[in-house]
Structure 1
Amino acid sequence: MRGLCQVSDLEVYERIATGLGLPDHARMLLGLAPIDIASPTGNHGDEHQEQTEELRARIEAAAAVDPTMVMILSTDTNNLRLLDRRLGSLAIADKMRAQIAQLQRAHRHAVRPGIRARLAGVLAETASLAGWQAINTGALGDAWNHYETAKVAASEADDPAILAYVSAEQAYVLMDLGQPTQATELLQHIHQTHRGDIPARLRTWLSAAEAEAAAILGDETTCRTALDQAAQLLPDGPGDPDMPYLSIDAHHLARWRGNCLVRFGDPGTVEDLRSALAGMDGTYNRAEAALRCDLGHALLALGDPQAAQPHVQRAQQLATMTGSRRQRKRIEELARAVNLALH
């Protein structure tokens, strides 16, 4: 302490540490072994006991999850999906956060393999929905993270269809980041990987997504080929109850086709989009906003801004109601073009 000599013997350090009652983290700074090997940073017996009790309680709570409860959680996610289509993500943001948190707690502490796998499937669907909502609000970082969560959960669920779907949806983050080439490569890889183990309706969706990425790249040949493949793969009927997250039928595909081909000035786009609009049931408000925006673009390209104007106005209303920044940006650009053409 007086600086007259320097301690060089480890045994002396040991005596000093013992005499002063140094805690383990201070002993370690002197190069000494901790007294409590299980707790190298000190004696936290009370804290460890609290952790143990909390873990036991969570595992016990998760053990109460049975097939009926998993079905209820799945129904809750589907109800949120229906609300999202009508009202948009902002209206249900708190409910979405609560649902994901509940599913993550139940899944993380579930022990029974069958229940754990089913919870993983519901979590994958829910995180994917949250990812799509984040894309539409412009929160691309959040969207990417949600899809990473969804992919891990889908892998544990051992469900090729949900894994292919959530992985492919992540490509839309790349598209909105201005990286359609990487999005195309990702979509093609997913389609090739899962071609033999996913339903035809999901393959239809993947082909249509590939067409959209090709359209963004300006590759009309690839775009049309992918759209034709989607039409050939599309099965009859409105949907598949085993894939509630997937909405694609003849009307949705017509909307998708119009969205792609409007970029190439195809005059047939107007009829595709009008057909899709006539077939919408009024529950897909965000999708209708996008459709009316595409129809406005097509009509403007045909030199009919007056016919385009009411579609633009309705698209603005729907995009505002659903809180879709992604759609509002496109619609505002179109509105300026229409107003310029009218005046």
Structure 2
Amino acid sequence: MQRIPVGFGAELRRRRIEAGLSLGELATLICFSKGHLSKIERGVKSPSHDLAQLCDSALDAGGQLSSLISTPGQSPAVGPLTEADVSTPWTLRMHPGGESDFVAFDPASLVGGAMPSTIVSWSIAPPFLESGETNAALPYFREAFDEFRRLGQIFGPAVVAQLCIAATSALRGMAHHARPAHRDDVLRLASRFAEYTGWMAQEAGSDAASLWWTEQAVQLAADGGDDELAAYALVRRAELALYSGDSVATVQLARRAAQQARSARIRGLAAQREAQGHALVGDRDACRRALDRGAELTSGALPPGDEDPVLGSIHLPDLTAFVAGWCMHDLGSPAEAVTLLGDGLDAIPLRSRRARARYGARLALALANVGEIEQACAIAELVASHVALIDSATIRADLLRLSRALNRWPKNPTVRRTLPHLAIGLHTHRTGPVSPA
């Protein structure tokens, strides 16, 4: 990739004006388009050696312009990376058709409100793929989705969301060149990447971004002939309402999802969300009815791996028990919650840090509220260490409740040792305001 020579565009413009030529007149003289020449003067595009030579001749510059760029075949000197090199800011703008524009800026030009100076730009055109090639690429993207989902169990949105956004954009561009028979498959897979991006946004504490990406996922899925994701989007919105403490909206959205969904799994997830909404206001009977309905609907095996990726959590070994335990705690029955959650943490693989932290936070909270302080603190320290890595706003909400529960025993030496760990887990490393659920 060729670096844009610093100062070439400005020097070209100075010499052109000094020669009394308009941009169009110089473009005519050297047989290049006016738009191309304008981008070079503005530093958006990199000049070729041939263009520099033509400008030298047209402006009687005596080779001065050519000297500002490296000659053909000559590799620029490569020195060790400096701090400025590794801290260079860049942008990647992604277009609906699959095109992208990459621009890197000179950090020194970003101070004082001046117009940023471009170091390098790159217009990335989407490849033209035969329909068979598009279809052959899909299994690789499916494998990437599964890998990103696993990566989301280990790291936070700062790592995973960027990968999912890029994959969504690539698939959205590929859909433009796919045959109708394959286009739906491409769009449905793009919708799963977009939906997972929305989940990462929620974990990062941005409810607005989470809703936006979820709506993008719904539209992509609908364009691919799948309207079931629209029902799942209501389940996701119910979850956001749940974390904000809005029990009425949680129940209403969950019921709408159940009415709209066709698959037993989505109806089951909606029933579980409804149960959690009832638990918020202490409606035990309605909560148990919804839990029973959710357990029955989600009791079947997950769809085989060669179909569209499964919506909803796949890393908790017993989602029904987890939701039931959550509900029992919110209903004021922490002992029942401990019974339901007691053995589940050990069944979650060690590599699934996000699932272990989510499960562990709820279990530790229930243990603290039945007075099992030593065990609650042991799990709390595990959760805090995971949250610092996976950056989860939703788990931090539970961690905050756990911290308050443990503060009821301020003189307990184990609690006093654990609370600083929780404080680290609650720290978000952010400088701006966020909206953790």
Taking a change above 3 Å as real, the CA distance of residues 293 and 99 of structure 1, as seen in their structure-2 partners, is same
Please give the per-residue CA displacement for 1:71-111, whole angstroms capped at 9, x wherever unaligned: 2212211210111023232232332232122122223x235
Supply the distance in 1 between the matched residues of 2:337 and 2:255 (Cα, whole angstroms). Answer: 25
Please give the per-residue CA displacement for 1:38-71, whole angstroms capped at 9, x wherever unaligned: xxxxxx9979xxxx9x89x658358575222122
Supply the distance in 1 between the matched residues of 2:133 and 2:271 (Cα, whole angstroms). Answer: 37
**405, 408, 411: which one aligns with 1:340:** 408
Instruction: Summarize the alignment of residues 224-263 of structure 1 with structure 2, pairs less than 5 Å apart.
Output: 224-237=288-301, 240-241=304-305, 242=307, 243-247=309-313, 251-263=318-330
2:269 matches 1:205: yes
Supply the distance in 2 between the matched residues of 1:176 and 1:114 (Cα, whole angstroms). Answer: 40
Instruction: Summarize the alignment of residues 31-42 of structure 1 with structure 2, pairs less than 5 Å apart.
Output: none
Relative to its length, the structure with more strand (as a share) is 2
Supply the distance in 2 between the matched residues of 1:250 and 1:287 (Cα, whole angstroms). Answer: 10
Could you say which residue in structure 1 is the equivalent of 2:152?
84
CA contact (8 A) 1:120 1:154 kept: yes
Please give the per-residue CA displacement for 1:18-47, whole angstroms capped at 9, x wherever unaligned: xxxxxxxxxxxxxxxxxxxxxxxxxx9979
Runs of 4+ in 1 over 6 A off after TM superposition: 44-47
What's the offset of the Cα at 1:134?
0.7
What's the offset of the Cα at 1:324?
1.0
2:215 matches 1:148: yes
Please give the per-residue CA displacement for 1:306-335, whole angstroms capped at 9, x wherever unaligned: 221111111111111111122123213312
Supply the distance in 2 between the matched residues of 1:289 and 1:250 (Cα, whole angstroms). Answer: 14
Please give the per-residue CA displacement for 1:125-181, whole angstroms capped at 9, x wherever unaligned: 111101111111101111011011011112122224444323422332333444442
Instruction: Summarize the alignment of residues 167-316 of structure 1 with structure 2, pairs less than 5 Å apart.
Output: 167-194=234-261, 197-198=262-263, 200-237=264-301, 240-241=304-305, 242=307, 243-247=309-313, 251-266=318-333, 267-316=335-384
The alignment-based identity, stated in percent, is 22
Taking a change above 3 Å as real, the CA distance of residues 58 and 300 of structure 1, as seen in their structure-2 partners, is closer
Taking a change above 3 Å as real, the CA distance of residues 190 and 159 of structure 1, as seen in their structure-2 partners, is same
Supply the distance in 2 between the matched residues of 1:62 and 1:106 (Cα, whole angstroms). Answer: 10
Supply the distance in 1 between the matched residues of 2:359 and 2:303 (Cα, whole angstroms). Answer: 20
Could you say which residue in structure 2 is the equivalent of 1:31?
none
Could you say which residue in structure 1 is the equivalent of 2:202?
135
- Structure 1 residues not aligned, in runs of 5+: 1-43
Supply the distance in 2 between the matched residues of 1:240 and 1:289 (Cα, whole angstroms). Answer: 27
Could you say which residue in structure 2 is the equivalent of 1:22?
none
Taking a change above 3 Å as real, the CA distance of residues 189 and 93 of structure 1, as seen in their structure-2 partners, is closer
Supply the distance in 1 between the matched residues of 2:319 and 2:181 (Cα, whole angstroms). Answer: 35
CA contact (8 A) 2:154 2:352 kept: yes
Taking a change above 3 Å as real, the CA distance of residues 45 and 185 of structure 1, as seen in their structure-2 partners, is farther
Please give the per-residue CA displacement for 1:185-220, whole angstroms capped at 9, x wherever unaligned: 1221121122xx31x333322221222232234333
Once the two structures are overlaid, the 10-residue window that deviates more, 233-242 or 287-296, is 233-242
Supply the distance in 2 between the matched residues of 1:104 and 1:301 (Cα, whole angstroms). Answer: 49
What's the offset of the Cα at 1:339?
3.6
Could you say which residue in structure 2 is the equivalent of 1:13?
none
Taking a change above 3 Å as real, the CA distance of residues 45 and 148 of structure 1, as seen in their structure-2 partners, is farther
CA contact (8 A) 1:296 1:311 kept: yes
TM-score by length of 1: 0.75
What is the aligned residue count?
290
Taking a change above 3 Å as real, the CA distance of residues 176 and 329 of structure 1, as seen in their structure-2 partners, is closer
Q: Which has the higher contact order (CA 8 A, sep 6+)?
A: 1
The residue matched to 2:159 in structure 1 has which SS?
helix
2:182 matches 1:115: yes
- Structure 2 residues not aligned, in runs of 5+: 1-32, 37-96, 101-124, 412-437
TM-score by length of 2: 0.60
Relative to its length, the structure with more helix (as a share) is 1
The residue matched to 1:159 in structure 2 has which SS?
coil
Supply the distance in 2 between the matched residues of 1:305 and 1:229 (Cα, whole angstroms). Answer: 34
